[in-house]
Structures are given as C-alpha cells and as structure tokens.
Chains A and B, each alone.
Chain A
Amino acid sequence: MSALAQDTSIPSAKDLAPVPRERRRRWTYYSLPVYSGAFFLYLLIPITFMVVYSFNQSHSALPQVTSKWQGFTTQWYRQWNGVPGLGPAFILSIKLALFATVLSAILGTLLALALVRYRFRGKGVTEQVLFANIAAPEIVLGASLLGFFITLNLDRGFTTLLIAHVMFCVAYVTITVRARLSGFDPMLEQAAQDLGANPWVSFWKVTLPLIFPGILAGALLAFALSIDDFVTSNFVAGPSVTFPLWVYGAVKVGIPPQVFVLGTVIFSAGLVLAVTALVFQGRAKKARPEPEEG
C-alpha cells in the first residue's frame, strides 16, 4: 500500500502519453455502439418479422405464413380464434403461466429471503441445486420428470404441467429477488422494530415494498419462461396442448397467421409490463439516491 501511495507522486501515464490513448479511444468510441446497434437489430429480426407478418394478407383457402408480402390487413386479429384448437391452447398457456407465476413468485421470494438473511445448514447445496436447475438442459428436466411421473403412475395434464413450470421458474425468481435483497439494508427493518413494529408488520410495511420491484421482475421472468416453454411441456403435457406445443405441431404443415397474431399479443403485453417495471424502478431509484443496485 505504501509503495502505491509513493507511486502516485510520479506523473501518471495520462500526463506522459495522452496522444495515443486519445486516438484509440476514438476508434472504439464509434465502432462499439455501431456494432451493438447491429447486434440488437439482429436480435430483433425474427420478432419484427412476426409482428409485421401478422398483418399480412393471404388469399389461399388455407392461410399460411410465408415471407411474401401481399398487403396489409387486420383480418387475422379479428379472427384470432378462427383456427380449431389454437384458441384453447392459447388460453391454457395463459392460465398455466398465471398459476406458475404466482406460485413460483411466492416460493422463490421466500427462498431468497432465507438465502440472503440467514446462514443455515444446506445453504451451499441449495445454491448449487439452483444453479444446476438453470444450467440443466431442458430435455433432461422434461425427460426425468416424465420418468418420475410414469413411476408414480400419475396422469399427465394440467397438474403435471404446473408442477414442471413451477419447478423451472422457481430458481429464476429466487435469483432475481436475491439480487434485489442483497442491496437491502437490514437496519431499516431493525429501525421499524425499534419503533414498535412486530416482525410481521415490519416485513409488510418495510421489506416487502422495498423488494417489490425485484419480485415483480422475477414474476415477469417466470411468466415469460412459462408461456414460452416448449421442451419440458412436451414431455409432461400428456393430452394437454399449450400454445408452443400447438405451434410446433403446425410448423411442418404450415403456420396459420393467427399464430403470429397471438405471438405479437404476448410480445406486446410482455414489453409493456417490462417497460412499466423499468420506469417504476427508475423512479424508485431517483426517489432514493442510494448507489446500491445489482
């Protein structure tokens, strides 16, 4: 440390050689944002295609998605339920995602509280299980769960789907909420208790409002994962058909434009929610000028 302190008296590299560094900075100064912009455009290609082509006309008897533009129409939005089987599959997916989100948000938040607040036996193992759960190939999750259900002789359907969805959402919620919680000052809760609040009241009035953005973000992620899931659902669905399962079944035959309509609806809803959460979080940060943010 003392050696470092001495070194500061020597003129730094900044003073000695300012010219070459300036020049290099200028080079990446433009190329990095341009490259990043191109990257984000690339990420958006299939999404833009889906949104734009949900408005594409089709004149054939059996309308299908092609990349040929035939004119603008909102026909498919008006007839969103016009394909047999697609509407019920979509509704099943929404229902499943709502249930899975609520359950995994509760379980995940409680586990995150336990992991951040306490040291307990089995904490390390729990954290490794969470990582393994996220890193595991979905096919292994689905296949092992199906094997398990077969061994138990459990009928596949909504229940098994819900079990599976909560199983793979919980780890994501836990990690999102934990990131939020670790920036949370426990002194605030103690202060509430010193002012006469019992632990229950201090949790509801102090902790929960502060970590709520984290829970919201975790729940949003869980909803996106659940409504999007194909691989695991394919194994444990049995006779039930969710929206992604229906789409997968239709790919090689031809996708009706309504699939893009429903995809666009889910996308817009997700985007609106996420942007709202972002704005909400930004406001909260401005109101509370702490540098703490995971």
Chain B
Amino acid sequence: MEQHVPADLHGVEPPRRHRRLGRSASPYLLGAPAIVWLAVFFVIPLVTMLSLSIQTCDSITLACKLTWHFAEFPNIIGRYNDTFVRSLVYAGAATVAALVVAFPVTYWIAFRAKRKNFFLLMLLVPFFVSFVIRTTAWYTLLADQGTILSTLKNLHLVPESFHVLATPLAVIGGLAYNYLPFTALPLYVALERIDRRVMEASHDLYATRRVAFTHVVLPLAVPGIFAAFLLTFVPAAGDYVNAAILGGTNTVMIGQVIQNKFLEAADYPAASALSTVLLVLMLVGIAAYAKFLGSRTIEEYV
C-alpha cells in the first residue's frame, strides 16, 4: 500500500489506465440506463409540456398543433389569479411553519442527540404510511364531531360553532405536516455539516451562546434552509390532495385546477400552461439558489 501512493503521484498513470480497458467509456455505460430513463421520461415530457402550452387543440378530435399561441398564459393567469395567489400563500405559510417547527428538532439531532440514525428514521416514519391515508386520518380526527374538536368543545375551550375542516388552517396544517420530512432532512444535513471547531472558536472569542447561534450556526445553515424551503414550498404549491381532502370550496388550490383540466375537462393547453407556471417557479428557485449559494452544493441537500 505504502509504495502505491508515491507511484501514483509521480505519473505512472498510463499503465494503470491501460489495465482498465475502456475507462473513458465506463461512466457513460454505467450512467446510461438511468440517464436515458430520466431524459426520456422526465426531461422530454417537461419539454413536451412546455410546447403543449403554446399549442392549439381541436376541441373535438383533440388533435393539437404547435401554433406558438402564447396567449394562453396571460389568459390563464388572469382567470386563475386568485387561485394562484392562494396556492402561493398557503404553500408559503406551510413552509414557514414547517421550517420553524422542524429547526429546533434537527438542531437537537445534529448537535445533541446520541442515536442520530434512530431519530433520522423517526423523521422518515410518516413515509411508511400512504400520503392519502395520513391526510384521511387527519380528516377523520379533525372532523366536526371528531375526537379533538368534541373534546375541546366539551371543555368549552372553543365555541360550539368552531370547525377546522374546509378552512385555510386545515389545508396549511395538512401541507406542513405532509412535507415536514422534506423540510427537516436538508436542515439536518446543513447543521450536521457545521464544523464543531468553528463553534468552539466563536466561544473562545467570547461569543455568548446566542451570538454563536445567530452569527455562526444560522449563517452556515442558510444553504440548508434554502434547500428545505425549495423542497417544501414548490411541491406544496402544486399539491392538491390536502386541499381536496381537508379543504372546501373556498380553499381551491392550483393543483386541483390542473388535475381537473387534465383528467376531466381534457383541456391540455390550459392545464399545460398552468403546470408550466409551477415549473417556472421551481426553476426560478433553483436558479436563485445557484446564483446566491453556488450550483455545486444544491444536490447535496436532497
């Protein structure tokens, strides 16, 4: 072993390269199946969707033609302006709530907890129960006659007419709950990565615990916070299960409109235009991350 290291450094590279035949092709051979799969079933459909949003379709035969018909965008944004704003507000509120709730826990796991793997598994436990069932369970628990509300009403803590389902609170709460693991994991990765010696240095330089937290921990956690925001906010903005199950007629989100247009109304250009807006939102978020925090680190937070 000892002899190999200097040999490597002194440029005995050619024979080794010779020994591993086809070295230059191997990354492509290894990566090809997954890359092709993602290219064909992820990238190309996205591009197709972008083009579909500027096509015109025959309403009877459903045959579509590329007509560079950009009018769909202002049209659709104008028509669903309220729904868009509502989706962004709900997703924003849910993301902030999830960040605030999850941060102390991930901080604790990263800096204090003894059995880190166990608590990380605990964060992932909700994933073992179907998203739809979790939401359904909340639906049953929060029902007007359900356990939680009837107990609170019996204790006269809330008025008799109080209800949670079909209100924005229910939808935001459901979104925050369902996306919590996506918020917590990037936060954990960022906090775990902080060099403990940097914190010791700050203490040696007379920083109090609070100053060390606000001036050392928080700035170093910013990429993780941003990644957590992106991974929670973007999917939450496009979510429709929470709004459909926990919400009512006043809490319609953009995902419900897209789903309806695509699967029931068969209005593909409008549905594509709506999804394109969501897609642009995501791309803007990723671009902003790359611009301010560097593109190399983003994929480390998933």
The reply to whether B275 and A144 contact each other, CB–CB distance below 8 Å, is: yes
Assess A247 versus B132: contact at CB under 8 Å? Given A32-B107, A136-B282, A282-B117. yes
Q: How far is the CA of A35 from the CA of B283 in the complex (A)?
A: 35
Most A C-beta atoms less than 10 A away, residue of B39, B52, B109, B231: B52
B68: chain A residues within 8 A (beta carbon): none
Interface stretch, picked from A71-79, A168-176, A204-212, is A168-176
Given known contacts A136-B282, A140-B238, A244-B132, A39 and B101 CB-to-CB distance under 8 angstroms: yes
B interface SS class:
helix
Which residue of B52, B206, B235, B259 contacts A234 across the interface (Cβ within 8 Å)?
A: B259
**CA distance in complex: A138, B143 (Å):** 27
Please tell me if the beta carbons of A50 and B137 are within 8 angstroms of each other in the complex. Answer: yes
Instruction: Among A21, A65, A141, A227, point to the contact of B130 (Cβ < 8 A).
Output: A227
Task: Say yes or no: is A241 at the interface (Cβ < 8 Å to chain B).
Answer: no
Q: A140-B278, A163-B41, A167-B37 are in contact. Are A65 and B258 (CB under 8 A)?
A: no
* Cβ distance A8 to chain B, nearest Cβ, rounded Å: 8
Establish whether residues A278 and B299, one from each chain, have CB atoms under 8 Å apart when the complex forms: no
Q: Does B198 contact A (CB under 8 A)?
A: no
Determine the residue in chain B with the shortest Cβ distance to A263: B133
Q: Are B279 and A140 in contact (CB under 8 A)?
A: yes
Q: Is the CB of B131 within 8 A of A244?
A: yes
A145 touches B45 (CB 8 A): yes
Interchain CB contact (< 8 A) of A138 among B27, B235, B299? B235
Question: A263 near B30 (CB under 8 angstroms)?
Answer: no
Shortest beta-carbon distance, A64 to chain B, in Å? Answer: 9
Interface window among B72-80, B121-129, B154-162:
B121-129
Asked if residues B104 and A271 are in contact (CB atoms below 8 Å), the reply is no
B121 touches A143 (CB 8 A): no
Q: Which residues of A have CB within 8 Å of B143?
A: 67
Rounded to whole angstroms, the CA-CA distance of A47 and B133 in the bound complex is 9
A:229-284 near B, CB below 8 Å: 229-231, 234-235, 243-244, 247-248, 251, 255, 259-260, 263, 266-267, 270-271, 274-275, 278, 281-282
Chain A's closest residue to B111 (CB) is A32
* Given known A-B contacts A129-B43, A146-B262, A251-B245, A46 and B275 have beta carbons under 8 A apart: no
Tell yes or no: B11 within 8 A of A by CB: no
Q: Would you call A218 an interface residue if the criterion is a C-beta within 8 Å of the partner chain's C-beta atoms?
A: no
Q: Which residue of B lies closest to A259 (CB)?
A: B133
Provide the residues of chain A in CB contact with B37, threshold 8 Å.
107, 166-167, 170
A140: contacting residue among B205, B209, B275, CB under 8 A: B275
Within B206-234, which residues are at the interface with A (CB < 8 Å)? Answer: 206-210, 230-231, 234
Flag whether B70 is at the interface (Cβ < 8 A): no
Q: Contacts of A21 on B, CB cut-off 8 Å?
A: 203, 208-209
Establish whether residues B245 and A133, one from each chain, have CB atoms under 8 Å apart when the complex forms.
Answer: no
Alpha-carbon distance between A120 and B285 when the two chains are bound, in angstroms:
26
B90 within 8 A of A: no
A134 and B235 CA atoms in complex are apart in Å by: 9
Tell yes or no: B84 within 8 A of A by CB: no
Q: Which of A177-223 contact B (CB under 8 A)?
A: 187, 190-191, 193-194, 199, 221
Contact A43 B133 (CB under 8 A): no
**Quick one: given A39-B105, A139-B275, A167-B37, are A115 and B31 in contact (CB under 8 Å)?**
yes
Q: Is the CB of A144 within 8 A of B49?
A: yes
> What residues on A are CB-neighbors of B203 within 8 Å?
12-14, 21
| Contact A230 B238, beta carbon cutoff 8 Å | no
B45 contacts A224, C-beta separation under 8 Å: no
Cα of A115 to Cα of B38 in the assembled complex, Å: 15
- Cβ-defined contact, A46 with B38, below 8 A: no
A-B residue pairs in contact (CB < 8 Å), sample of 11: A49-B140, A110-B31, A114-B30, A115-B31, A138-B238, A144-B49, A228-B131, A266-B130, A271-B125, A275-B121, A278-B121
Q: Nearest 10 pairs between A and B by C-beta?
A: A137-B238, A46-B137, A270-B128, A118-B27, A114-B31, A148-B45, A111-B34, A144-B45, A114-B30, A107-B34
Binding site for B on A (CB under 8 A): 7, 12-14, 16-17, 20-21, 24-25, 28, 32-33, 35-36, 39-40, 43-47, 49-50, 53, 65-67, 106-108, 110-111, 113-115, 117-120, 122-124, 126-141, 143-148, 150-151, 163-164, 166-167, 170-172, 174-175, 187, 190-191, 193-194, 199, 221, 224-225, 227-231, 234-235, 243-244, 247-248, 251, 255, 259-260, 263, 266-267, 270-271, 274-275, 278, 281-282
